[in-house]
Copies of this chain bind each other. A is one copy, B any other.
Amino acid sequence: VTATLADVAQRAGVSTATVSRVLNGNYPVAAGTRKRVLRAVDELSYVVNAQARALAASTSDLVGILVNDVADPFFGLVASGIQAEVAEADLLPVICNTGGDPERELNYLTLLQRQRARGVVLTGGAHDDGRHLRAVAERAAHFASGGGRVVQCGRPPLAALLPGEDSPQVTTVAFDNRGGARALTAHLIALGHTRIGYVSGPEHNTTTTARLKGHLRALDDHPEAEAASAPLVVGGAFRRDSGYDGAAELLRRDPGLTAIVAANDSVALGVCAALRERELSIPGDVSVAGFDDLPFSLDTSPPLTTVRIPLTEAGRRAGRLLLGREAQPPGGVFTIHPELVARASTGAARKR
């Protein structure tokens, strides 16, 4: 049904080579010939078969983007940034939801390698497990051996995750989650808070770990806060309901706590909901802070204190690095330092 190059060639009375040259514009062709070819293309509504072209020219127009879930604003923003760069290069972004499942991450890596994708960017925190990370490293090396590129965005460099092992140098746009979290909790301590709850993210996740570490590090500078707050850490996921449940649990552990830090903004939303339900005012009774500065954080009430990561910008950078439009950073790692954004959801600790 669909016309092929040969059909076009026949109709234009030229060879397929000539048609190919006209279409790719990478070789001189007589004006008249070109005209005849283009007319034939038009008459036949010819659309080149990119698969065949890719095979013959051994190239690919595909770029893979692995996310937990595109519907999660964090990933949506990063993906959008990458997509913007990819689009400028006339490539097609294949965006895959892994749901944070390492199996699916590896599976998609394989599918993308089958497609001979030009590269793939792994976004968000990594599943922090030696076996899995080694598998990722292996896939990345394999990918690279085939001319593909792997870039990470929002996770630590493989070398840091697999210390002592020689992992392939995978370009990384890293987020200083630890530093950001530390600054955030320090901000609360400076406001006089000592009983600070923490609703953490999913287990075995590098982002979870880094943020929690930053929090603990800040407490470490302040013995009194540390003593009171160290027991106030509950696990969860990067979801609203996790914040809702987590806040309930924290209040059970210490009804007198004066602040709650959430693993990210979505979690903070749930924390706020749980507090409101108990008629605790924010920040009057309890200060609340999130992480990421997702767009909605400006419009919660009160606006959320958080740590800003320029996610779209990070995605764009990852995209440029992948496409070779930007020089590799020293050591293959570009680190983004998030910025504390103090808004109205945090205030001075309640007197008690």
Contacts and interface: CB of A to CB of B under 8 A. Distances in A.
A295 B294 CA distance: 13
Contact of A115 (B50, B76, B77): B50
A301 B303 CA distance: 10
A328 interface: no
Nearest to A69: B80
Interface in A45-102: 45, 47-52, 54-55, 60-62, 69-73, 76-77, 79-80, 83-84, 87, 90, 92-97
Nearest to A147: B1
Interface stretch (A27-35, A106-114, A122-130, A197-205): A106-114
A184 interface: no
A45 B146 CA distance: 11
A114 B59 CA distance: 14
A279 to B, nearest CB: 14
Interface in A130-145: 142, 145
A114 B48 contact: yes
Interface in A261-284: 269, 272-273
A347 B48 CA distance: 58
Q: Which of A51, A73, A90 is the most central at the interface, judged by chain B CB atoms within 10 Å of its CB?
A: A51
Interface residues of A, number: 55
Contacts of A114: 47-50
B55 A52 contact: yes
Nearest to A95: B95
A87 B146 CA distance: 25
A61 B113 CA distance: 13
Contacts of A72: 76
A116 interface: yes
A350 to B, nearest CB: 20
A145 B2 contact: yes
Contact of A70 (B83, B147, B240): B83
Interface in A286-301: 295-296, 298-301
A172 interface: no
A96 B93 contact: yes
A312 interface: yes
A51 B47 contact: no
A96 B71 contact: no
Contact of A95 (B1, B93, B299): B93
Q: Which of A77, A80, A116 is the most central at the interface, judged by chain B CB atoms within 10 Å of its CB?
A: A80
A35 to B, nearest CB: 21
Which 7 residue pairs of A and B lie closest in terms of their CB atoms, listed nearest first? A301-B301, A71-B80, A296-B296, A50-B114, A95-B95, A76-B76, A71-B76
